[in-house]
Amino acid sequence: MRLDYLTIFPDFFAPLELSLPGKAAASGLLEFHVHDLRQWAHDRHRTVDDTPYGGGAGMVMKPEPWGEAFDAIGVDADTTVVFTTPSGEPFDQRVAEDLATRGRIVFACGRYEGIDQRVIDHAREIAEVREISLGDYVLNGGEVAALAVTEAVVRLLPGFMGNAESLVEESHGASGLLEYPVYTKPRTWRGRDVPDVLLSGDHGKVAAWRHEEARRRTAQRRPDLLHPSVLDDGTPIVRAQPGDAGEILTLQRACWLQEAQANDTLDIPALHESLDDVRAWLGEWDTWVVRRAGRLVGAVRGRLEGADRWDIGRIMVAPDLQGSGLGRVLLDHIQAVAPAEATSYVLFTGAGSVRNQRMYRKAGFRLRPDLPAPPNAVVLTKRR
C-alpha cells in the first residue's frame, strides 16, 4: 500500500518512521510519501490561503496548489483521496477495514477554515473521495486525523502485525464489543489480584469470563454498540427520544388492552397513563425502541433500583408482530445494557399472562412468590 500526505506541515508525519509503521515501510509492505503543499504555490510568500467569498472569519485554502499537487503526484482512478474534515463521515473500524483494501490513499490535510470546495469536487471527478471525521470536535488541522486513520488502517494489512490473532478480540472488532480487561504478571500488585478465573487453566471458563466482561464494559461505556439487528431487515434498537412519547402511549395501550383481556381486569396502571405520564417516565427510565418502516413497533425500559437490581418493564411489541421473536430480543437487549453494578434482574407480568411467563422462563427468569407483587401480577427474577 502507498500512502501520500499533502500538508503545509510535513514534520507532523515524522512519527511514520517509528514503531510498526516504520518497520513495515522498511520491509516494503508500505510506502510513505509526504509532500509540502507550498511547493505548488508560486508567489514569493508561497501563499496557500485567501479570504473567503461571502465574508466571514478565517481563511480558506486556495484551489490552485491542490490541483497542481494532484497532477504532480499522479492522483487517478486507482487512488482514494481522503479529506480529513470535521464535516465528514464518522471514522470507525468498519471504515478502517474498507480503506485497508485500497492500493493507494492520498491524505489531503486541510487547515484554517478548510479547503475550497472545488478541490473536493475536482477530486471526485478523477479519483475516489472519502471525507472523514475523527469525531464531533474540531482540530487545528487534518494532520493529526490523517495519522490516526493511518494507524487504524495499516495495522489491518496482512503481514503488518506479528501475531494476526491479536486483532481478533480488540475493541470494535467483529464481536462489536469493547475489549475485556487484560492482566499480566505479577499476580498481586498493590493489594489488587488478577481474577482467579484467569489462573484456572480452564480455557472455556476464561473465554466465558472475557465475553461477559466485554459485554459488561460495553453496556457501561458504550451502550450504543449493543444494538443487535432485531428483524430480518436489520432494524436496530435505539434509545427512545422525548418525541416518541405519543407513539409509545399508543403502543402501550394496544399491548395492555391484551393484558387486560388475559387477566380479566382493567386495573392495570399502563392502561390509565396519560401522555404526560409517559413523557415523565421517559426521563426516569433507560428506554429503547424499535422502528420498522418509520413505525414504532417495539419498546422496553429498565432502571437501577437500589444498589444492584435492574428493574425491567414495559416490554411492548405491536400486535401484528407478536410471536415474531421481537419481544425476546428486546428482553435480551435490556439485560445487556444494564449498568455494571447490576447483579440481578427483576420484572413483573400479569398472573394470567401465560405467554409472557413462558418467554421469561425460557430466558432464565424464575417466579418469585415470596416477593411482593402488584395486584393481579407475579414477580420474576434472574441473577446476572
User: Which positions make up the binding site for S-adenosyl-L-methionine?
Assistant: 110, 134-139
Binding-site annotation, residues: 110, 134-139
The answer, yes or no, to whether the previous bond of 186 is cis (omega within 30 of 0) is yes
Identify the burial level of 67 via C-beta atoms within 10 angstroms of its C-beta, where 0-12 means exposed, 13-18 middle and 19 or more buried. middle
Q: Are 90 and 135 in contact (CB under 8 A)?
A: yes
* Centroid of chain to Cα 159: 27
Q: What is the pLDDT along the chain (384 residues), one digit of tens a residue?
A: 999 999 999 999 998 888 888 888 888 889 999 999 999 999 999 999 999 999 888 899 999 999 999 999 999 999 999 999 999 999 998 899 999 999 999 999 999 989 999 999 999 999 999 999 999 889 999 999 999 999 999 888 887 765 444 444 454 555 567 888 999 999 999 999 999 999 999 998 998 899 888 888 887 787 767 655 455 556 788 889 999 999 999 999 998 888 878 778 887 788 889 999 999 999 999 999 999 888 999 999 999 999 899 999 999 999 998 888 889 889 988 998 888 889 999 999 888 888 889 889 988 999 999 998 888 889 999 998
311 near 305, Cβ under 8 Å? Answer: yes
Q: Which domains does the chain have, with CATH numbers?
A: 2-154 (3.40.1280.10), 175-224 (1.10.1270.20), 237-383 (3.40.630.30)
Q: Is the dihedral of CA 181, 301, 284, 342 positive or negative?
A: negative
Residue whose cell numbers read 478465573: 197
